[in-house]
Amino acid sequence: MDFETGYQMTIGGRGVSGAASIDVFNPATAEVFANAPDCSRAELDEAVATASAAFPAWKAMPIEERQALLRKCGEALLTHTEALARLFTREQGRPTDAAKQEIQGGAAWLISFSQMTPPVHLEETDTRWIETRYVPLGVVCAISPWNFPVMLSMWKVAAALAAGNTMVLKPSPFTPLCVLKVGEIFREILPPGVLNVISGGDELGVWMTSHPGFAKISFTGSTATGKKVMESASKDLKRLTLELGGNDAAIVMPDVDLDEIAQKIFFGAFFNTAQICVATKRLYVHEDVYEGLRDRLLGIAKAIKVGDGAEQGTVLGPIQNKRQYARVLELLEDAKKTGLTVLQGADVPEGGYFIPVTIVDNPPEDSRVVQEEAFGPILPMLRFKDVDEVIARANASEYGLAGAVWSKDVKAGIDIARRMETGTIWVNQNLELGPNTPFAGHKQSGFGVENGMEGLLEFMVPQVVNVAR
């Protein structure tokens, strides 16, 4: 298969080039290197119609057969890991070794969901026999963002298809290519119409969420867009899963071993150039270890190479797109203009969307860099003295996605974790997500659940058969 050219949509099991196209940029050079189809309304209608036509047979297929096909999809991704990872670096910017982990992660999700079977509950009395089982919803609309384009798309594909739904999937206009190629790979495996992959601008997302042919929307992206998606879904009561923004706090207690945790904390904040929904975005550090941790983090920031992910030795790539680059630069300018202490790591190349790793040294709690989700390499470090006070500061956010606690006293760490108002809290680690563990944002970070049995059941509804005896 050619991964360098020929990016087509998959509609009804066929490759569709589309009449119009969108440009795809390499963020390391800020230059266009490929085009993707710009899906028309008629092509969207066709995708929904073929997904709808494929639904009855896919739903009726014995679950073991569906599971076997999903496993094959996972295995097929693994055979194409190298080529997909190279393409991933060009469109997304992340260094190729780390890009491989994303493709392998997508495969792991497909394979794990191929082993998940929804429960059936029986209730029997002298007078009744009641069976509750779960049935799929119909055609699912899946919309994914640019920061983890393959992985977050596969979270949706794995769970929705395992549950017996069919799907129309739209990746971000900034990163459509790998997901289009995944659609092409799966064309050989899945029955036509079960998985349709289309590409286009944000407008296509609007057409999709208001399309009457969908039974459910599974959306990952910003909180602002999530609210629009919810409004659109309300028109015909489409089911919804929203995985949205976060402003995750990490709390570092005074008993930590700084040499042991500094690298982990650094990459928990800056991996993927800090473009991770569950990255540490506010780092609260006890005053006894504040300077020690700050100096170590800055040391790492000065030692690593930020550059083109296709080059040997690059650890962090560019910001993924021009819009996000402008937003992060503006936030950085605001920090400098308002007199905050800004500490920066190694110099970055010119030409692409590069920003040096930046630590903001103990800014006020109400500064923009603390209050807003940067989604770029600007990390505010904040000093604290008292545990109750720091938990209150960590919780004073409209978001509630994830967080972390660092302490040698694991029991104390768990106690703090339980007081945090987020869906996931890590103790002495971060960024650990898995196909069998539910992932659900609290507050304005989300609505519904992905992953685990809860994630599978989000793509199903209970159906009760109640028999008189």
Chain positions contacting ligand NAD, by CB under 6 A = 143-147, 152, 170, 172-173, 202, 205-206, 209, 220-222, 225, 228-229, 243-246, 277, 373, 375, 401, 441, 446
- The Cβ of residue 292 has, within 10 Å, a number of other Cβ atoms equal to 14
Q: Smallest distance, Å, CB 429 to ligand NAD?
A: 18
Q: Residue 307 or residue 455: which is nearer to ligand NAD going by CB? A: 455
Lookup: tokens for 264: 């982990």
Q: Is 398 an active-site residue? A: no
CA dist 368 and 453 (Å) reads 38
Residue 399: phi and psi, rounded to 5, are -90, 160
Q: Smallest distance, Å, CB 279 to ligand NAD?
A: 9
Q: Residue 436 or residue 466: which is nearer to ligand NAD going by CB? A: 436
- The Cβ of residue 368 has, within 10 Å, a number of other Cβ atoms equal to 15
User: Which is nearest to 4 in space by CA: 121, 89, 124?
Assistant: 89
Cβ atoms of residues 275 and 246 within 8 Å: no
Cβ atoms of residues 217 and 241 within 8 Å: yes
Cβ atoms of residues 24 and 178 within 8 Å: no
CA dist 214 and 49 (Å) reads 10
Q: Residue 166 or residue 209: which is nearer to ligand NAD going by CB? A: 209
Q: Residue 24 or residue 277: which is nearer to ligand NAD going by CB? A: 277
Q: Smallest distance, Å, CB 79 to ligand NAD?
A: 26
Q: Residue 323 or residue 336: which is nearer to ligand NAD going by CB? A: 323
The residue from 102, 243, 373, 450 that is catalytic is 243
Q: Smallest distance, Å, CB 10 to ligand NAD?
A: 17
The residue from 91, 141, 277, 373 that is catalytic is 277
Strand order across the beta sheet in which 402-406 lies: 342-344, 358-361, 378-384, 282-286, 249-252, 402-406, 424-427
Q: Is 277 an active-site residue? A: yes
Q: Residue 247 or residue 314: which is nearer to ligand NAD going by CB? A: 247
CA dist 224 and 217 (Å) reads 16
CA dist 247 and 373 (Å) reads 5
Q: Smallest distance, Å, CB 443 to ligand NAD?
A: 12
Give, in order, the Cα–Cα distances in Å from 463 to each of 4, 398, 424. 46, 35, 30
Q: Smallest distance, Å, CB 364 to ligand NAD?
A: 23
Q: Smallest distance, Å, CB 414 to ligand NAD?
A: 23
Q: What is the DSSP string of 182-234?
A: HHHHHHTTSPTTSEEE----HHHHHHHHT-TT-SEEEEES-HHHHHHHHHHHH
Cβ atoms of residues 180 and 197 within 8 Å: yes
Active site residues: 243, 277
